[in-house]
Amino acid sequence: MIENIKILHFVPDDKFTDTAYLNFESVAPSCNTFFVPSMTKNLKYIEKTPVEFINPISFKNPFFMKSLNKYDIIVLHSLSVFNQEIVAHANPCLKFVWIGMGYDYYDLIYENPECLYQKRTRDIVKNLHIKKKSNDGILKQIANNILHKQLEKKSIVEKINFFAPVLENEYEMVASKFAFNFPNYVDWNYGSTVRMIEGKIKHCKLNNNDILVGNSATPTNNHLEVFDFLRTQNLKGKKIICPLSYGNSEYAHIIKNAASIYFGNRFLAVDKFIPYDNYISIISSCSNVIMNHHRQQGGGNITAMLYMGAKVFLNTLNPFYTFYKGKGAVVFSLDELYNNPKLLDLHLSEEDIEKNRQIIKLAFNEKAILDKTEKLIKKVISSELSD
Protein backbone atom coordinates (compact mmCIF):
# COMPACT_ATOMS: atom_id res chain seq x y z
CA MET A 1 0.00 0.00 0.00
CA ILE A 2 1.40 3.39 -1.02
CA GLU A 3 0.66 6.43 1.12
CA ASN A 4 1.48 10.11 1.52
CA ILE A 5 1.89 11.00 -2.14
CA LYS A 6 -0.21 13.06 -4.52
CA ILE A 7 -1.04 11.78 -7.99
CA LEU A 8 -2.95 13.90 -10.48
CA HIS A 9 -4.71 12.30 -13.45
CA PHE A 10 -5.86 14.26 -16.50
CA VAL A 11 -8.52 11.98 -17.96
CA PRO A 12 -11.05 12.07 -20.80
CA ASP A 13 -14.68 11.06 -20.39
CA ASP A 14 -13.79 7.57 -21.51
CA LYS A 15 -14.83 4.02 -20.70
CA PHE A 16 -11.30 3.25 -19.41
CA THR A 17 -11.21 5.98 -16.77
CA ASP A 18 -13.18 4.04 -14.15
CA THR A 19 -10.72 1.16 -14.50
CA ALA A 20 -7.77 3.51 -13.97
CA TYR A 21 -9.45 4.94 -10.88
CA LEU A 22 -10.02 1.51 -9.34
CA ASN A 23 -6.46 0.37 -10.09
CA PHE A 24 -4.68 3.44 -8.71
CA GLU A 25 -6.94 3.74 -5.68
CA SER A 26 -6.39 0.07 -4.84
CA VAL A 27 -2.65 0.63 -4.69
CA ALA A 28 -2.54 4.24 -3.42
CA PRO A 29 -5.86 4.93 -1.64
CA SER A 30 -6.89 8.58 -1.29
CA CYS A 31 -3.77 9.68 -3.16
CA ASN A 32 -5.41 10.31 -6.54
CA THR A 33 -7.16 13.32 -8.05
CA PHE A 34 -8.91 13.09 -11.43
CA PHE A 35 -9.44 16.18 -13.60
CA VAL A 36 -11.69 16.26 -16.67
CA PRO A 37 -11.36 19.35 -18.89
CA SER A 38 -14.95 20.20 -19.80
CA MET A 39 -17.27 23.19 -19.87
CA THR A 40 -20.47 21.14 -20.00
CA LYS A 41 -19.74 19.07 -16.87
CA ASN A 42 -21.71 16.19 -18.36
CA LEU A 43 -20.34 12.65 -18.31
CA LYS A 44 -21.27 9.92 -20.77
CA TYR A 45 -18.87 7.10 -19.91
CA ILE A 46 -17.40 7.76 -16.45
CA GLU A 47 -19.56 6.29 -13.70
CA LYS A 48 -17.43 5.53 -10.63
CA THR A 49 -14.56 7.99 -10.72
CA PRO A 50 -14.98 11.11 -8.51
CA VAL A 51 -13.81 13.63 -11.09
CA GLU A 52 -13.30 17.36 -10.83
CA PHE A 53 -14.18 19.44 -13.88
CA ILE A 54 -11.68 22.07 -14.99
CA ASN A 55 -11.77 24.74 -17.66
CA PRO A 56 -10.54 23.47 -21.06
CA ILE A 57 -8.23 26.50 -21.23
CA SER A 58 -6.96 26.21 -17.65
CA PHE A 59 -3.45 25.73 -19.06
CA LYS A 60 -3.54 29.49 -19.74
CA ASN A 61 -4.19 30.21 -16.05
CA PRO A 62 -0.85 30.73 -14.23
CA PHE A 63 -2.45 30.07 -10.84
CA PHE A 64 -3.79 26.72 -12.00
CA MET A 65 -0.48 25.76 -13.56
CA LYS A 66 1.37 26.70 -10.37
CA SER A 67 -1.04 24.49 -8.38
CA LEU A 68 0.30 21.46 -10.26
CA ASN A 69 3.58 21.77 -8.39
CA LYS A 70 2.09 20.07 -5.33
CA TYR A 71 1.69 16.73 -7.15
CA ASP A 72 4.38 14.06 -7.06
CA ILE A 73 3.18 12.47 -10.32
CA ILE A 74 1.00 13.78 -13.14
CA VAL A 75 -0.56 11.06 -15.28
CA LEU A 76 -1.73 11.98 -18.76
CA HIS A 77 -4.35 9.51 -19.95
CA SER A 78 -3.78 9.97 -23.70
CA LEU A 79 -1.81 12.79 -25.25
CA SER A 80 -4.78 14.98 -26.14
CA VAL A 81 -4.24 18.56 -27.30
CA PHE A 82 -5.22 19.72 -23.80
CA ASN A 83 -2.64 17.42 -22.20
CA GLN A 84 -0.01 18.63 -24.65
CA GLU A 85 -0.78 22.19 -23.60
CA ILE A 86 -0.41 21.21 -19.94
CA VAL A 87 3.06 19.80 -20.59
CA ALA A 88 4.02 22.82 -22.70
CA HIS A 89 3.10 25.29 -19.94
CA ALA A 90 4.18 23.25 -16.91
CA ASN A 91 7.12 23.56 -14.56
CA PRO A 92 9.88 21.40 -16.11
CA CYS A 93 10.51 19.85 -12.69
CA LEU A 94 7.16 18.03 -12.73
CA LYS A 95 7.10 14.29 -13.42
CA PHE A 96 4.77 13.34 -16.26
CA VAL A 97 3.59 9.84 -17.15
CA TRP A 98 1.91 9.39 -20.53
CA ILE A 99 -0.53 6.48 -20.69
CA GLY A 100 -0.85 5.88 -24.41
CA MET A 101 -4.14 4.93 -25.99
CA GLY A 102 -2.86 4.10 -29.46
CA TYR A 103 -4.71 6.77 -31.39
CA ASP A 104 -2.60 9.42 -29.65
CA TYR A 105 0.76 8.15 -30.90
CA TYR A 106 0.09 6.56 -34.27
CA ASP A 107 0.52 9.91 -35.96
CA LEU A 108 4.10 9.78 -34.67
CA ILE A 109 4.67 6.34 -36.16
CA TYR A 110 2.95 6.93 -39.49
CA GLU A 111 3.61 10.26 -41.17
CA ASN A 112 1.01 9.38 -43.79
CA PRO A 113 -2.17 8.12 -42.06
CA GLU A 114 -3.52 6.80 -45.37
CA CYS A 115 -1.40 3.69 -44.88
CA LEU A 116 -3.82 2.68 -42.11
CA TYR A 117 -6.70 2.40 -44.58
CA GLN A 118 -7.45 -0.05 -47.34
CA LYS A 119 -8.77 1.11 -50.71
CA ARG A 120 -12.53 1.39 -50.14
CA THR A 121 -12.08 2.76 -46.65
CA ARG A 122 -9.55 5.29 -47.92
CA ASP A 123 -12.19 6.66 -50.32
CA ILE A 124 -14.63 7.07 -47.42
CA VAL A 125 -12.02 8.87 -45.33
CA LYS A 126 -11.26 11.33 -48.13
CA ASN A 127 -14.94 12.22 -48.38
CA LEU A 128 -15.22 12.54 -44.61
CA HIS A 129 -12.28 14.95 -44.61
CA ILE A 130 -13.75 17.00 -47.45
CA LYS A 131 -17.05 17.33 -45.61
CA LYS A 132 -15.32 18.17 -42.35
CA LYS A 133 -13.31 20.92 -44.01
CA SER A 134 -16.38 22.38 -45.67
CA ASN A 135 -18.21 22.42 -42.34
CA ASP A 136 -15.39 24.14 -40.49
CA GLY A 137 -16.25 27.81 -40.66
CA ILE A 138 -13.72 30.62 -40.63
CA LEU A 139 -14.75 31.67 -37.13
CA LYS A 140 -14.13 28.18 -35.76
CA GLN A 141 -10.69 28.07 -37.36
CA ILE A 142 -9.81 31.48 -35.93
CA ALA A 143 -11.03 30.44 -32.49
CA ASN A 144 -8.88 27.30 -32.57
CA ASN A 145 -5.83 29.30 -33.64
CA ILE A 146 -6.33 31.71 -30.77
CA LEU A 147 -6.96 28.95 -28.22
CA HIS A 148 -4.08 26.66 -29.17
CA LYS A 149 -0.74 27.87 -30.37
CA GLN A 150 0.87 25.62 -32.96
CA LEU A 151 2.10 22.69 -30.88
CA GLU A 152 5.08 20.65 -32.00
CA LYS A 153 4.05 17.25 -30.68
CA LYS A 154 7.54 15.75 -30.74
CA SER A 155 8.91 18.56 -28.58
CA ILE A 156 6.06 17.96 -26.12
CA VAL A 157 6.82 14.24 -25.93
CA GLU A 158 10.47 15.01 -25.18
CA LYS A 159 9.37 16.81 -21.99
CA ILE A 160 7.52 13.74 -20.69
CA ASN A 161 9.36 11.42 -18.31
CA PHE A 162 7.62 8.07 -18.82
CA PHE A 163 5.57 6.46 -21.56
CA ALA A 164 3.30 3.41 -21.25
CA PRO A 165 2.11 2.30 -24.70
CA VAL A 166 -0.67 -0.25 -25.01
CA LEU A 167 1.82 -2.93 -26.07
CA GLU A 168 5.49 -3.16 -25.15
CA ASN A 169 6.48 -3.80 -28.77
CA GLU A 170 5.01 -0.39 -29.68
CA TYR A 171 7.52 1.45 -27.49
CA GLU A 172 10.35 1.04 -30.00
CA MET A 173 7.98 1.84 -32.87
CA VAL A 174 7.44 5.30 -31.37
CA ALA A 175 10.91 5.79 -29.87
CA SER A 176 12.55 5.12 -33.24
CA LYS A 177 11.05 8.38 -34.53
CA PHE A 178 13.02 10.39 -31.95
CA ALA A 179 16.73 11.16 -32.07
CA PHE A 180 16.97 11.76 -28.30
CA ASN A 181 15.02 12.70 -25.15
CA PHE A 182 12.35 10.06 -25.52
CA PRO A 183 10.45 9.11 -22.31
CA ASN A 184 11.49 6.02 -20.37
CA TYR A 185 9.38 2.89 -20.76
CA VAL A 186 6.92 1.92 -18.05
CA ASP A 187 4.69 -1.14 -18.20
CA TRP A 188 1.04 -0.41 -17.47
CA ASN A 189 -2.38 -1.44 -18.80
CA TYR A 190 -5.94 -0.51 -17.91
CA GLY A 191 -6.87 -4.17 -17.52
CA SER A 192 -10.40 -3.79 -18.88
CA THR A 193 -10.92 -7.57 -18.94
CA VAL A 194 -9.93 -8.16 -15.30
CA ARG A 195 -13.51 -8.68 -14.13
CA MET A 196 -14.03 -11.38 -16.73
CA ILE A 197 -10.77 -13.12 -15.89
CA GLU A 198 -11.64 -13.04 -12.20
CA GLY A 199 -15.05 -14.60 -12.92
CA LYS A 200 -17.08 -11.51 -12.02
CA ILE A 201 -19.02 -11.32 -15.32
CA LYS A 202 -21.74 -13.76 -16.35
CA HIS A 203 -22.55 -14.82 -19.93
CA CYS A 204 -18.91 -15.26 -20.92
CA LYS A 205 -19.36 -18.61 -22.66
CA LEU A 206 -19.77 -18.60 -26.42
CA ASN A 207 -23.25 -19.66 -27.44
CA ASN A 208 -23.40 -19.25 -31.23
CA ASN A 209 -21.31 -18.98 -34.39
CA ASP A 210 -21.81 -15.28 -35.19
CA ILE A 211 -19.04 -12.99 -36.43
CA LEU A 212 -17.76 -9.91 -34.59
CA VAL A 213 -16.30 -7.34 -37.00
CA GLY A 214 -14.22 -4.45 -35.69
CA ASN A 215 -14.38 -2.61 -32.41
CA SER A 216 -15.66 0.90 -33.15
CA ALA A 217 -16.96 3.41 -35.67
CA THR A 218 -13.48 4.43 -36.77
CA PRO A 219 -12.20 3.99 -40.33
CA THR A 220 -9.05 2.20 -39.16
CA ASN A 221 -11.31 -0.87 -38.73
CA ASN A 222 -11.46 -1.17 -42.54
CA HIS A 223 -14.97 -2.59 -42.27
CA LEU A 224 -15.91 -2.51 -45.95
CA GLU A 225 -13.03 -4.72 -47.00
CA VAL A 226 -14.14 -7.35 -44.47
CA PHE A 227 -17.73 -7.02 -45.70
CA ASP A 228 -16.54 -7.58 -49.27
CA PHE A 229 -15.14 -10.93 -48.19
CA LEU A 230 -18.09 -11.98 -46.00
CA ARG A 231 -20.73 -11.15 -48.61
CA THR A 232 -19.20 -13.79 -50.90
CA GLN A 233 -19.55 -16.49 -48.25
CA ASN A 234 -22.43 -18.77 -47.31
CA LEU A 235 -22.94 -17.46 -43.80
CA LYS A 236 -25.45 -20.19 -42.91
CA GLY A 237 -27.50 -18.07 -40.53
CA LYS A 238 -24.52 -16.36 -38.92
CA LYS A 239 -25.05 -12.77 -37.83
CA ILE A 240 -22.53 -9.99 -38.42
CA ILE A 241 -22.16 -7.92 -35.25
CA CYS A 242 -20.40 -4.53 -35.35
CA PRO A 243 -19.64 -2.36 -32.31
CA LEU A 244 -20.26 1.21 -33.50
CA SER A 245 -21.06 3.00 -30.25
CA TYR A 246 -18.10 5.37 -30.39
CA GLY A 247 -16.01 6.96 -33.08
CA ASN A 248 -17.23 8.92 -36.11
CA SER A 249 -21.02 9.04 -36.38
CA GLU A 250 -20.97 9.76 -40.13
CA TYR A 251 -18.68 6.78 -40.71
CA ALA A 252 -20.96 4.62 -38.54
CA HIS A 253 -23.93 5.63 -40.71
CA ILE A 254 -22.05 4.62 -43.88
CA ILE A 255 -21.08 1.24 -42.41
CA LYS A 256 -24.62 0.50 -41.20
CA ASN A 257 -26.09 1.34 -44.58
CA ALA A 258 -23.59 -0.83 -46.45
CA ALA A 259 -24.03 -3.76 -44.03
CA SER A 260 -27.81 -3.57 -44.25
CA ILE A 261 -27.61 -3.83 -48.04
CA TYR A 262 -25.11 -6.71 -47.92
CA PHE A 263 -26.49 -8.73 -45.01
CA GLY A 264 -30.04 -7.51 -44.32
CA ASN A 265 -31.39 -8.70 -40.98
CA ARG A 266 -28.24 -10.73 -40.42
CA PHE A 267 -26.48 -7.51 -39.46
CA LEU A 268 -26.56 -6.11 -35.91
CA ALA A 269 -25.00 -2.76 -35.04
CA VAL A 270 -24.20 -2.14 -31.38
CA ASP A 271 -24.45 1.62 -31.81
CA LYS A 272 -25.53 2.69 -28.32
CA PHE A 273 -23.27 2.71 -25.30
CA ILE A 274 -24.34 -0.07 -22.92
CA PRO A 275 -22.90 -1.45 -19.67
CA TYR A 276 -19.89 -3.71 -20.16
CA ASP A 277 -21.66 -6.82 -18.82
CA ASN A 278 -24.50 -6.32 -21.33
CA TYR A 279 -22.01 -5.80 -24.13
CA ILE A 280 -20.21 -9.04 -23.27
CA SER A 281 -23.54 -10.83 -23.25
CA ILE A 282 -24.24 -9.64 -26.82
CA ILE A 283 -20.87 -10.53 -28.29
CA SER A 284 -20.80 -13.91 -26.54
CA SER A 285 -22.75 -15.18 -29.57
CA CYS A 286 -19.62 -14.67 -31.69
CA SER A 287 -17.23 -17.59 -32.10
CA ASN A 288 -15.44 -15.64 -34.85
CA VAL A 289 -13.74 -12.24 -34.50
CA ILE A 290 -12.38 -10.31 -37.48
CA MET A 291 -10.21 -7.26 -36.78
CA ASN A 292 -8.83 -5.60 -39.91
CA HIS A 293 -6.72 -2.88 -38.26
CA HIS A 294 -3.27 -2.03 -39.54
CA ARG A 295 -2.46 -0.52 -36.15
CA GLN A 296 -2.94 -1.61 -32.56
CA GLN A 297 -6.64 -1.29 -31.81
CA GLY A 298 -9.48 -3.24 -30.24
CA GLY A 299 -7.36 -4.79 -27.50
CA GLY A 300 -10.19 -5.15 -24.99
CA ASN A 301 -12.38 -6.96 -27.50
CA ILE A 302 -9.55 -9.19 -28.71
CA THR A 303 -8.56 -10.20 -25.19
CA ALA A 304 -12.13 -10.81 -24.05
CA MET A 305 -13.00 -12.91 -27.09
CA LEU A 306 -9.82 -14.99 -26.87
CA TYR A 307 -10.63 -15.64 -23.22
CA MET A 308 -14.15 -16.75 -24.13
CA GLY A 309 -12.77 -19.20 -26.69
CA ALA A 310 -13.37 -17.40 -29.99
CA LYS A 311 -11.24 -17.68 -33.10
CA VAL A 312 -9.61 -14.29 -33.62
CA PHE A 313 -8.47 -13.19 -37.09
CA LEU A 314 -6.07 -10.24 -37.16
CA ASN A 315 -4.35 -8.26 -39.85
CA THR A 316 -0.66 -9.17 -39.61
CA LEU A 317 0.19 -5.44 -39.56
CA ASN A 318 -1.60 -5.11 -36.21
CA PRO A 319 0.97 -5.25 -33.36
CA PHE A 320 -1.54 -7.38 -31.43
CA TYR A 321 -0.89 -10.15 -33.94
CA THR A 322 2.82 -10.11 -33.15
CA PHE A 323 2.09 -9.70 -29.43
CA TYR A 324 -0.17 -12.74 -29.11
CA LYS A 325 1.81 -14.89 -31.52
CA GLY A 326 4.92 -14.11 -29.50
CA LYS A 327 3.20 -15.39 -26.35
CA GLY A 328 2.21 -18.60 -28.10
CA ALA A 329 -1.51 -17.82 -28.35
CA VAL A 330 -3.69 -19.43 -31.01
CA VAL A 331 -4.65 -16.54 -33.28
CA PHE A 332 -5.11 -16.44 -37.05
CA SER A 333 -4.20 -13.96 -39.76
CA LEU A 334 -6.76 -12.54 -42.17
CA ASP A 335 -4.77 -14.11 -44.99
CA GLU A 336 -5.41 -17.54 -43.47
CA LEU A 337 -9.12 -16.79 -43.34
CA TYR A 338 -9.31 -15.45 -46.89
CA ASN A 339 -7.45 -18.51 -48.17
CA ASN A 340 -9.59 -20.90 -46.13
CA PRO A 341 -13.08 -19.44 -45.43
CA LYS A 342 -14.15 -22.77 -43.88
CA LEU A 343 -12.32 -21.62 -40.74
CA LEU A 344 -15.50 -19.69 -39.91
CA ASP A 345 -17.28 -22.99 -39.31
CA LEU A 346 -14.58 -24.57 -37.18
CA HIS A 347 -14.12 -24.23 -33.44
CA LEU A 348 -10.97 -24.06 -31.38
CA SER A 349 -10.12 -27.23 -29.51
CA GLU A 350 -10.57 -27.18 -25.73
CA GLU A 351 -6.80 -27.42 -25.48
CA ASP A 352 -6.30 -24.28 -27.60
CA ILE A 353 -9.00 -22.39 -25.70
CA GLU A 354 -7.39 -23.24 -22.38
CA LYS A 355 -3.96 -22.29 -23.74
CA ASN A 356 -5.25 -18.83 -24.71
CA ARG A 357 -6.95 -18.40 -21.35
CA GLN A 358 -3.80 -19.19 -19.41
CA ILE A 359 -1.80 -16.69 -21.49
CA ILE A 360 -4.39 -13.99 -20.84
CA LYS A 361 -4.70 -14.82 -17.15
CA LEU A 362 -0.96 -14.52 -16.71
CA ALA A 363 -0.79 -11.14 -18.44
CA PHE A 364 -4.03 -9.46 -17.35
CA ASN A 365 -5.19 -10.89 -14.01
CA GLU A 366 -6.05 -8.46 -11.23
CA LYS A 367 -2.84 -9.02 -9.28
CA ALA A 368 -0.73 -8.45 -12.39
CA ILE A 369 -2.46 -5.14 -13.14
CA LEU A 370 -2.16 -3.92 -9.53
CA ASP A 371 1.49 -4.96 -9.44
CA LYS A 372 2.12 -2.91 -12.58
CA THR A 373 0.34 0.06 -11.00
CA GLU A 374 2.44 -0.15 -7.84
CA LYS A 375 5.68 -0.54 -9.82
CA LEU A 376 4.77 2.45 -12.00
CA ILE A 377 4.24 4.70 -8.97
CA LYS A 378 7.43 3.57 -7.23
CA LYS A 379 9.51 3.84 -10.41
CA VAL A 380 8.36 7.38 -11.11
CA ILE A 381 8.71 8.55 -7.50
CA SER A 382 12.26 7.20 -7.24
CA SER A 383 13.36 8.51 -10.62
CA GLU A 384 15.60 11.48 -11.17
CA LEU A 385 14.56 14.09 -13.71
CA SER A 386 17.81 13.60 -15.56
CA ASP A 387 16.92 9.94 -16.29
Check: CB of residue 31 under 8 Å from CB of residue 1.
no
Spell out where 239-379 has E strands.
Answer: 240-243, 267-270, 286-291, 311-314, 332-333
Give CA angle at 373 (370, 377), nearest 5°: 145
The domain 7-190+367-382: what is its CATH number?
3.40.50.2000
Give dist(CA 287, CA 320) in Å, integer. Answer: 19
Question: Can you give the pLDDT at residue 132?
Answer: 56
Predicted local confidence at residue 143, as pLDDT: 47
Q: Where are the domains of the chain?
A: 7-190+367-382, 199-364
3-state class of 37 per DSSP? Answer: strand
- Taking the chain (387 residues) in runs of 10, the rounded mean pLDDT of each run is 95 93 96 96 92 96 97 98 97 97 91 92 88 49 49 93 95 92 94 80 78 97 98 93 94 97 96 90 95 94 94 96 96 98 94 96 91 97 73
Q: Residue 133 has what pLDDT?
A: 46
Whether the full predicted model's pTM is greater than 0.85, yes or no, is: yes
CB atoms < 10 A from the CB of 317, how many?
16
CA dihedral 193, 195, 200, 202 (to 10 degrees): -20
Return the bridge partners of 213, or none: 290
Write down the pLDDT at residue 137. 46
CATH superfamily label, 199-364? Glycogen Phosphorylase B; (3.40.50.2000)
Q: Between 366-382 and 350-364, two packed helices, what is the crossing angle to 10 degrees?
A: 30
